[in-house]
Structure 1
Amino acid sequence: MSGLLRSRPATTQAMLAAFSDAATLRHALAFEAELARAEAAEGLIGPESAEAIAALCARIVIDPAALAEETTLAGTLAIPLVARLRAALPKAAAAVLHKGATSQDVADSVLACQIRAASALLDSDLARTATALAALAQRHAATPAIGRTLLQDALPIGLGLRLAQWQAGIVEAAERLRHEVETGATLQFGGAAGSRAGLDGKGAAVSARLAAALD
């Protein structure tokens, strides 16, 4: 079931695409590919293994419905996804796939990537709305409108003032959204116990490389 009859009237095609199964898989595969490259750059795994992992992540075709069924048993998409990747990799590369990471790292980082994509869409819409309201506020600066107090008619005001107040609220909300996304929608990479164990003290360096690669 697609659920479009409920979701489509409430959003846009672009926003639906940002949170689609295809986007979820794309981000999850990018996490595994860039993790391998970051660990190879820090000397934790061999470059041949890293490139084998990245190449597989770029070409593998996975049926979202089948993976979803496997996820219901695992509780997270990372477990069946990693199992599929390991089964398709040479033994040496399979052994170092997902090194130092845990399933929640994948799930949270995927969601952070999707939130950032969604925020970019919202930011564009909010900017367009704010620009339009600013123009309307100037155009109607002298247009009379009924003021309100406690939902009752009050002194007359300029319609432009009301529009300018709407515009100011939208600008403030957009700025807050950008800040919240920038500081909150970030890479999650803590490993199984949150200590980045098994990375020979290079967890921070791997995390920095991975965060940069995934933006």
Structure 2
Amino acid sequence: MTLSLFDQFMSPALLGIPLIALAMTLPWTLYPAPTRRWVQNRLLTLQNWFIGRFVRELLLPLSLPGHKWAMLFTSLMLYLISLNMLGLLPYTFTPTTQLSLNLGLAVPLWLATVIIGMRNQPTIALGHLLPEGTPVPLIPALIIIETISLFIRPLALGVRLTANLTAGHLLIQLIASAAFVLLSLMPAVAALTAILLFLLTLLEVAVAIIQAYVFVLLLSLYLQENV
């Protein structure tokens, strides 16, 4: 019986326990607690440079109160990169292809930025619902549109991450299946398909990193409007 190609995105369970919970704890084991006994090597130097560069670029447009989110944003990006790349390993699945997980990350963080804006500067936060210079007859319609746009933001965050990772992994699955079928029929074409599959895998690694960065960058832009 031929299974659906989308079965690879289902959350597997073992003894009735969803393994997505185990997958979400994996990044915690990959990043050990810092200690003063670490030897400064090239890998740590590169990692520190990358994190410092990322924090500098991310917090550049933010005012000083928004800098308190630096640790949260950095941890979230490393966490998302680890989860996005998890599905590229054999016999695993990508937890961030589950819309429920992405919305579980997007909604609370988006809501936190909105609550901060309503608490610290309610006039400015509500002013984003009505662009300056709007004609009087269009004011009710624009307020409704901007309100809908505000509440769509977390949904867009979650769906964007889910759709990009699902599309990339599904394309890898299709090309890998084609290469396996062509191996006995046309070995030369199968070799070219395997090269294409390798290049696509490298592209998917880049997509995993970029999508994690875009997720955090959009959250920082939402925060910028409310601090």
Shorter chain as denominator, the TM-score bin is 0.3 to 0.5
The structure with more radius of gyration: 1
Instruction: Output the TM-score relative to the length of structure 2.
Output: 0.32
Instruction: Output the TM-score relative to the length of structure 1.
Output: 0.33
Bigger RCO of structures 1 and 2 (CA < 8 A, at least 6 apart): 2
